[in-house]
Amino acid sequence: MDILQIQEGNLKTAAWTSWPPFLRDLPFLEPELHTYFAALARKYGPVVKLQLGTKIGILITSPTMAREVLKDQDITFANRDMPVVAKPVSYGGSNIIWNPYGPEWQMLRKVTVVKMLSNTTLDSVYSLRRRDVWETVAYIYSRVGSPGDDRAAVGAEFREAISDVTELLGLPNVSDFFPALARFDLQGLGKRMGKLVMKFDTIFDRIIDQRLKSVLRQKLENKTDIFYSQN
């Protein structure tokens, strides 16, 4: 049931008349959504419809209903609208989080579970992970007392970028409630996310470049050791 329909006679409903009708429930949302939604559930029941601009949201707070939606009917409710700011950072939604349920999503899930996270895969790279841990520990030990280097700077820059992306994904965006306005990017969130994506690409390029140089240096050192051992 629409909260605007069931709040007849309420002061909030009376105040709504001064708002444009296309805004619907948006003006009534409070900053602390979890407490606000809990209050709605106590007053109106476990299922409430919210008209958020041109989008419809369904609030479910009952454990039984949540189990029905999230487990028993999981495939039916699997798809979700992608936030506008999520498109750049997910390269158009081509990942397992935002990809709609279908053959491509199933393929991504299979690759993730079978090729990346299976016990067989993890066991097969055990020696590699063990070696990398020892190399990391040795590197940290060798840098004790040093002022820092590019690797530390890249790590700090990466953490900052992750924090900025998380913040942007959590901000309310007019473009999500009114998709027709998305092209105008009224809040500039899409532009900010685009800059962060470019920042990520730069960071990854630097990490890959450092790794390639490290591998090349290790190979040269091994060849040098072999040469001297044979002479």
Examine residue 177 and state whether it is found in any structural domain, yes or no. Answer: yes
- Does 90 map to a domain? no
Structure tokens at 142: 């060798």
Residue 85 lies in a domain: no
| Same domain membership, residue 72 and residue 114 | no
Q: Is residue 191 part of a domain?
A: yes
The SS3 of residue 35 is helix
Instruction: Report whether 196 contacts 165 (CB < 8 A).
Output: yes
pLDDT (tens digit per residue) in 159-209 = 999 999 999 999 999 999 999 999 999 999 999 999 999 999 999 998 888
Domain region containing 142: 103-230
Residues 219 and 125 in one domain: yes
Pairwise CA distance, residues 86 & 98, whole Å: 8
Going 158 to 94 to 180 to 49, the CA torsion angle's sign is negative
The answer on 72 and 162 residing in a single domain is no
**Locus of tokens 């299976």:** 118
Instruction: Please say if the pLDDT value at position 72 is more than 50.
Output: yes
CB atoms within 10 A of CB 37: 17
- Higher-pLDDT residue of 121 and 3 is 121
Domain shared by 208 and 172, yes or no: yes
* Structural domain total, the chain: 2
Q: What is the pLDDT of residues 28-55, one digit of tens each?
A: 888 888 899 999 999 999 999 998 889 9
Question: Is residue 9 scored above 60 in pLDDT?
Answer: no
Q: Is 60 helix (H, G, I), strand (E, B) or coil?
A: strand
For residues 200 and 166, give the distance between their C-alpha atoms in angstroms, rounded to a whole number. Answer: 13
Nearest to 78 by CA among 107, 51, 48, 98: 98
Tokens read off for 195: 């800059």
Segment 127-151 mean pLDDT: 77
**Whether the predicted pLDDT of 22 surpasses 80:** no
**Cα end-to-end span (Å), the chain:** 85
CA distance 102 to 92: 16
3-class SS at 231? coil
pLDDT of residue 190: 94
Give yes or no: residues 112 and 206 share one domain: yes
d(CA 25, CA 7): 11
Assigned domain for 162 exists:
yes
**Percent of the chain, pLDDT > 70?**
83
Q: Domain for residue 181, yes or no? A: yes
